[in-house]
Amino acid sequence: MHSRSKRTWTVLGIETSCDETAAAILQGQAGEPPAILAEVVRSQIDDHIAYGGVVPEIAARAHADLLDRAIAQTLKAATLTPDRLDGIAVTAGPGLIGGVLVGLMTGKALAMAWDVPLLAVNHLEGHALSPRLTVKTEFPYLLLLVSGGHCQLVSVQGLGDYTLLGTTIDDAAGEAFDKTAKLMGLGYPGGPAIERWASRGDPRRFTLPRPLFGQSRPDFSFSGLKTAVRRALDLAVGDGPLTDRLRQDMAASFQSAVADCLTDRTAHAMALYEEGPGYQEGPGYQKEPRAAHKCLVVAGGVAANGFIRSALTALCEEKGYTLVAPPLAYCTDNAAMIALAGLERLARNALSPLDVAPRARWPLEETRLAVPLGESAA
């Protein structure tokens, strides 16, 4: 029999922590990009659009309506019966608790009914591992996670081995995009809308702040930027209308300010990452040149932004880093990344008990594997 690390696993993933109801089935070995046999992502954007943001109660109900069907569809598309599954990986947090509960209860019920191991996955670990869905990405790497709910810089040293280098002290980057878009009446979700409007605007028209710029601890702050946008707009509009020209120029100025903050904070995180333990030591790393681990992974919905990607590309060129960005479908919330985290955990025999609790808050650093690497891989 193959050891767990060499075995091929088939895993169902379930994701319901925000406003995407998603299921996916992967097949593969630990550490290798898996075959994605099937995936379904049902966005609830239409349910929330009238409110200009995700309404937790509506999201939870929509997950309850959509999830069973999404799972059935993935099994059908993968032409698999449940007895072929080796594990069910489900987001157990962090996120909107109603949605997390729907997913986790469903995952537990299926694990029990089908007699398949359960893997309770941290949503952030899914994002952290998402580049490995399509490209073999060796540990360690520096992760910039920029989504609607999260804005973090993390040193990813291995599965379950994460060090938080910086985080936001108020809003997440995606949240700043969403709130700023709402302010200008550009619709929801705000990120793609701002990027579209910005493409025709002048980024130098408005002078906006770059909060925390230059500070050595790579934290983020975006709420002041949003306030500055409101003030600058009030001044520019006066008694007149908010013209398309103003919207375009403000979208471009805002996007440029966010890009500056992200690249400056990431540059500071690179320095910390290079001092860190995962970068300098660990199995197999010593023999390789240090530059081999100069790798920045950008994940989360905001990583879909082309302007921000090019700013990060320029930073990486300057610092000698390789930039890895998952394909857009895996930058935003999806179940394939949850299934991948589950597959990796399954290969380490890090199974979850059926009474595992959902968590609205769950820092990535609290996902350490209970079983040491050497013992679990056998």
Closest-CA residue to 104 (of 126, 82, 89): 89
Task: Based on the shown chain and the rule CB under 6 A, indicate whether residue 129 belongs to the binding site for ligand KG4.
Answer: no
Nearer to ligand KG4, 82 or 192 (CB): 192
The answer to whether 301 and 147 have CB atoms below 8 angstroms apart is yes
Nearer to ligand KG4, 212 or 304 (CB): 304
**Which one among 126, 203, 300, 326 touches ligand KG4, defined by CB under 6 A?**
300
**Which one among 15, 39, 125, 178 touches ligand KG4, defined by CB under 6 A?**
178
Nearer to ligand KG4, 116 or 258 (CB): 258
Task: Based on the shown chain and the rule CB under 5 A, indicate whether residue 20 belongs to the binding site for Zn ion.
Answer: no
Task: Based on the shown chain and the rule CB under 6 A, indicate whether residue 201 belongs to the binding site for ligand KG4.
Answer: no
Enter the tokens of residue 301.
């919905």
Task: Based on the shown chain and the rule CB under 6 A, indicate whether residue 332 belongs to the binding site for ligand KG4.
Answer: yes
Task: Based on the shown chain and the rule CB under 6 A, indicate whether residue 189 belongs to the binding site for ligand KG4.
Answer: yes
DSSP letter at 138 equals P
Closest-CA residue to 184 (of 229, 130, 215): 229
**Which one among 18, 26, 36, 208 touches ligand KG4, defined by CB under 6 A?**
18
The answer to whether 118 and 111 have CB atoms below 8 angstroms apart is yes
The answer to whether 300 and 150 have CB atoms below 8 angstroms apart is yes
Enter the tokens of residue 326.
């998952």
Residues 6+ apart with CB under 8 A from 265: 153, 166, 212, 218, 219, 220
Task: Based on the shown chain and the rule CB under 5 A, indicate whether residue 21 belongs to the binding site for Zn ion.
Answer: no
Residue 120 binds which entry of Zn ion, ligand KG4, none, with Cβ cut-offs from 5 to 8 Å by kind? none
Q: Is 204 helix (H, G, I), strand (E, B) or coil?
A: coil
Instruction: Give alpha helix (H) positions in the chain.
Output: 45-48, 56-77, 97-114, 123-129, 173-183, 190-198, 223-237, 244-275, 277-280, 306-319, 328-331, 336-347, 373-376
Give min distance, CB of 300 to Zn ion, in A: 6
Task: Based on the shown chain and the rule CB under 5 A, indicate whether residue 125 belongs to the binding site for Zn ion.
Answer: no
At residue 322, φ and ψ (nearest 5 deg) are -95, 135
Q: Of 170-178, 199-207, 341-349, 355-363, which segment contacts ligand KG4 by CB under 6 A?
A: 170-178
The answer to whether 179 and 168 have CB atoms below 8 angstroms apart is no
Task: Based on the shown chain and the rule CB under 5 A, indicate whether residue 147 belongs to the binding site for Zn ion.
Answer: yes
Nearer to ligand KG4, 107 or 301 (CB): 301
Give min distance, CB of 176 to ligand KG4, in A: 8
- Residue 290 CA neighbour count, 13 Å, CB half: 12
Q: Of 82-90, 141-149, 263-271, 316-324, which segment contacts ligand KG4 by CB under 6 A?
A: 141-149
Tell me how far the alpha carbon of residue 69 is from its chain's centroid. 24
Task: Based on the shown chain and the rule CB under 6 A, indicate whether residue 305 belongs to the binding site for ligand KG4.
Answer: yes
Give min distance, CB of 172 to ligand KG4, in A: 7
Task: Based on the shown chain and the rule CB under 5 A, indicate whether residue 152 belongs to the binding site for Zn ion.
Answer: no
Give contact residues for ligand KG4 (rule: CB under 6 A): 18, 147-149, 174-175, 177-178, 189-192, 195, 300-302, 304-305, 332-333
